[in-house]
Amino acid sequence: MTDTTAETPRDSAPGTTASEAGLAGKSGYLLLALGVLGLDQVTKGLIEAGYALHTSREIIPGFLNFTHVRNSGVAFGLFSSMGDGFSGMVLLSLLGLAALAVVGVYFWRTPRSDRLLLFSLGLILGGAVGNLVDRLGSGGVTDFIDVYVGTYHWHTFNVADSAITVGIVLMAVDLLRSSRAGDPSRAGT
């Protein structure tokens, strides 16, 4: 008797058939990534053209300013001192490329039926590419969204940082949802 179950290819996630791996049926999520990239680059361009460095405009009193800053670190200004100078910029760019490669492989291996995870990865891909374009093009990233309450200001960030953060939160929701549903193919991922 012949076994008719689909084998899991070596390059796909457990429980994923050959027809589910790859890019087939995932173009909408790649368009999402492209949309995030486009929105990120357009908003950064508008800020760079309309605001001198370190200037600020109040958008929502007591809550939101647009403030033009340059970030040599990673998201939300983390590791800013690492990005100072050419070697720091190269190191952070290489780390960014490595992270982008990991997310890209994860996207490739995710079955097209896992819509929330693909949506999450689309947000992360678009945001990661947006910040990497800045870093490679000018050695730093333009940030401008300044959220605050009273005198407490969160780190200034941009559309790419927002997309990455929302993508990571949605990935966590997806992971919790699948672990509660007892999805054995997602255990340990």
Active-site residue, from 40, 114, 143, 174: 143
> What span, in angstroms and rounded, lies between the C-alpha atoms of 87 and 130?
21
Largest CA distance in the chain: 74
**Contact (Cβ atoms closer than 8 angstroms) between residue 161 and residue 143:** yes
- Three-class DSSP category at 156: coil
Active-site residue, from 40, 114, 146, 161: 161
Q: Residue 139: which of 185, 70, 75, 186 has the closest Cα?
A: 70
Q: In what order do the strands lie in the sheet with 141-149?
A: 56-60, 64-71, 141-149, 152-153
Give yes or no: 143 in active site: yes
Phi then psi for residue 158, to 5 deg, are -140, -175
| Residues with active-site annotation | 143, 161
